[in-house]
Every structure is written in C-alpha cells, then in structure tokens.
A and B are shown apart, each in its own frame.
Chain A
C-alpha cells in the first residue's frame, strides 16, 4: 500500500525543480541589487557597503534627464492609452455584438502579437519621413509610440472590470431620470475606477520598461532610462547601472503590489 505521505497530486522531483526555478529567478536579481551597494569601482570584487553608486547616478546629469524623460513619456502614454482604452472598453463590452467587432479586437491586441523589433522598424521608417516633412523632432513621437503599445495593457483590466459590473445600477439611475452623461459620471465611472487605475499602472510600467521601440524611435539626445543603460554597455559597466536598475526594480515592485491590491478587492 502507499505510504502515509502519499498524495495524488505529488510528483517526485517536481517540488525540487520548482524551488530551483525560484532560486534561478531571484539569485541574479539579488546579485544585481547587492552589487549596487558595492563600495568598489570594479563590478568584480566586493569591498563593503556603500551608497556611492546611487549618489553617482543621482549626480549624473544624463541620468537625471533620462529619468525625467522616462517619467514624462510614461505618464503621458499611460494617460492617453488609458483614456482611449476606457472608451474602447465601454464600446466593446456589455452591448450587442456589432459588425467589425473582431477587427476592433485584432487592432487593439495587435501590439501584443507583432514582434517589437518589427514595430520599431516600422515606426523608424514612418516617423523618419514625418520628421523630414514637418521638421518636428520632439518627444511627441515617443509618446505616440508608447501610447499605442500600451493600449492593450490598459484595455484588458478595464474590460475585465466592466464585464464583472452589474448593469442594474445604471438602469436604476436611468429610471430615476439621470441623463446618460450623469449616469456615466456618477455611477459607471466610480464603479469602473479601480479597473482604470489598474490599467493606467500597467501601461505606466510597460512604457517605463520599453527598450526596443524607444531605441529606434528616439531622436538624438532623447535617451530614456532603459536606452541610456543599454548605451552604457559600450563602455565598461560600473555599478552605477546596478544602482539605476535597483531603483527601477523597486518602483516596479511597488506599482505591482498596488496593482494586485487594487484588482483583488473586487473579490
């Protein structure tokens, strides 16, 4: 007969592989973070705890500008993407299917399907000709590109929230002679808000993380934090890159934790 600890769902060796997988996933990240606090100039030897690389990164004008640029692009892109995604979600849920709906889904999810390098190349070509035609070189291109690929990330949580919402509250509001706009502002929007915030945060993280499309679309002197870090590869890497990575990592984890708290509440 089976021994006492026999459990149908236990498969020998699986737990060991799983624990190993978690070690593999986190060991490199911890190493990266620990070396951000290394006193040594070399990334090879550990010479004690220090915050000098955070100070160095903070004092670096290029890093400061790249950080500011990343934040401007990510906030603008997340506001634009969330706005159009909210409207699109309202247009595609809780109503009778309409002709062309599949086309709309494909369009919205397209950035998830097309390889990033292909979109990057396409935007490089397209924006290059616009740059020549109009002479405009500003951040607008990056904001437009980021807004577009953030749309599906903003759309999904908003749509999920909408689908779980009860129509009867809005019907009640309409029965009480609320205008459609008033119903939307006073009933629908407040109920939808957690989904909108969650979508905006995902869009923000996705924009903040982007390397490939930014690398191809940016004009000279428009480095964001990730493209600045990629550019540092050509030189000897110093722990400054580790310090920037650590700061970005902390920001991502904070936003994600908030995201999970927001989306869990509805259960």
Chain B
C-alpha cells in the first residue's frame, strides 16, 4: 500500500470520527456512561435516607436472592423476591406466546393481501405501534376494568351477574402487555413472511402435504428468523415493563421494573436497586446474544 493511500485512509477515518463524536459524547453522557455508575453503586452500602454510603459491600448482590435472618445471621432464599422474578419471567413468556398466537396469523394475513391494501393494513398495525404506551394501557383499562366495556357487555348478556375482577391481577398485567406489545410481534413476522416464496407452498401441496404439514415443515422453518426477532422484541420489553404493571397491576402485582423503582423510592435501598438493574440488563443481553446467533444461523438456508 502506498503512502498516499495510507494518508487518504487516515483522513477518512479522522473525518468519520469527527462526525460521530458529538453523538458519542451525548450518548456517553446521558445513556451509556451512567450505566457504569449503576454497576459501581451495586457494590456499595445503602445510605439511611436513600442514596449510598461509599463502603464496599456485596450485600446488594446477595440480597437479590437471599435475605439475612436477623436472629442467627443465616441466609435464606428471599421468597418475596423470587415471587417477583417468577412473575416477571412467567408473564413475559406468556405475553410472547399469546402475541405469537395472534400475531402470526395477522402477519400472514397482511403479507398475503394484494399490494395496494397491504400498505393500509400495515399502516393500521403501525399506528398502535407508535402510539404512547401509557395511552394504550389506559385504553385496555377502559375495556377490562370493573365498569368497563367487557364486564358491562357480559352483564348485559346475562352471562355474569357481578363484574369479574380483572384489573389489579396478574391476568390484567398479562392482557395489558399482550395488547401493548402485539405490534412488536406482528412487524418482524410480517417482514419475514413478506420475503417468503409462495411457490414453495405449491410445491408442498403438489407433493400431497396437508395444510398443517406445510405450515409446520415449510412455512415455520423458513420464517424462523422473524419468529425469533418478534419473540425477542416482545420478551425483552415485557421483562423490563414498568408502566403496564403499575397501571393494571395496582402496586401489588409487581414485576422486576416496579421492584427496582421501589428500591429507589420507599425501600431506600439504592444498591439493591442497582444490582437488580444490572441483573435485568444481563438477562436482556443474554437474550439479545441468543437472537444474534439465531439470526445469523437463519441466513444460512441449511442451518
């Protein structure tokens, strides 16, 4: 390589860095950098009125899973914490399953419309996608609360006499999350199905495959990257959900997000809150790594 080429390359790199630097400074200051502070705080001692004392301690990390007995100083599994983790994982998983069950037929339906109406159907999915999450949570609340649409309708039908208590239960949080995250499942599924070659279906039917067999052996394996992407896009925000459980779970049915907030509010245990945040972040990173691996496998036709 000549010296001139080297010089051009160096100028190019300098130029590129000069252009990206303002963005990097902003993101370091108000997004990435503070995450490191959270990591540091998770190894400190809680202050009496919130904040921290600068004394090293592993208590916060131990406190995620265990509580110290006040009498004999032995560690026991913290049942209350485990309940919250289990609820978060269970509800996030169920949300993913429900959104897939509804989202896959929906994405298929949109992708098989004629091109003109397809754009309109897609737009109809995009509007809720971009609508304020809080507003959508309020909206689903209008339907499932005791005096809401669903209960009023069921009473009018005569199916029930008194309203079913849905809000402030786990079921309400589940319904709410499935409702608000459904578009996140439909969009990547649509993208995958849209690229699907429908002639493969003809081939399948020509070879006497049943509809179910074609769905299971031809369609699902090919659109798998879309399924993985949609599942991650739903599972990850569900796990960190804060607004929906707060509005529909009514404070009692906490998820990890609300539990973290509690540590920075009433519980005044910032280190525990920091350790919980880091744990949540690690789970999400593992899920994303899984996604990257699955996605790169998906690009290999025989993978």
Contacts and interface: CB of A to CB of B under 8 A. Distances in A.
B91 interface: no
Interface stretch (B8-16, B56-64, B65-73, B75-83): B8-16
Interface stretch (A58-66, A103-111, A171-179, A185-193): A103-111
> B interface, how many residues as a size bin?
35 or more
Q: Is the interface of A mostly helix, strand, loop or mixed?
A: helix
B286 interface: no
A169 interface: no
Q: Is the interface of B mostly helix, strand, loop or mixed?
A: helix
Contacts of B285: 113
Contacts of B24: 104, 107
A149 B31 contact: yes
A10 B27 CA distance: 47
Interface of A: 8-15, 17-22, 24-29, 31-32, 35, 43-44, 80-81, 83-85, 87-88, 90-92, 95-96, 98-101, 104, 107-108, 110-111, 113-119, 121-126, 128, 144-145, 147-149, 151, 155, 205, 208-209, 211-212, 216, 226, 229-230, 233, 241-242, 245, 248-249, 252-253, 256, 260
19 contacts: A8-B198, A17-B102, A18-B109, A18-B110, A19-B109, A24-B182, A27-B149, A85-B23, A88-B23, A91-B18, A107-B24, A110-B31, A111-B27, A115-B239, A115-B281, A117-B277, A122-B34, A209-B134, A252-B127
Given A87-B22, A249-B135, A125 B12 contact: no
B142 A31 contact: yes
Given A31-B148, A113-B285, A114-B31, 14 more contacts: A9-B198, A11-B211, A18-B109, A91-B19, A107-B24, A115-B284, A117-B261, A121-B273, A144-B30, A148-B27, A148-B29, A151-B26, A230-B134, A245-B138
Nearest to A245: B135
A234 to B, nearest CB: 10
B280 A118 contact: yes
B38 interface: yes
B205 A256 contact: no
Nearest to A27: B143
B236 interface: yes
B32 A9 contact: no
Contact of B26 (A95, A119, A124, A148): A148
Interface stretch (B222-230, B240-248, B293-301): B240-248
Contacts of A205: 130
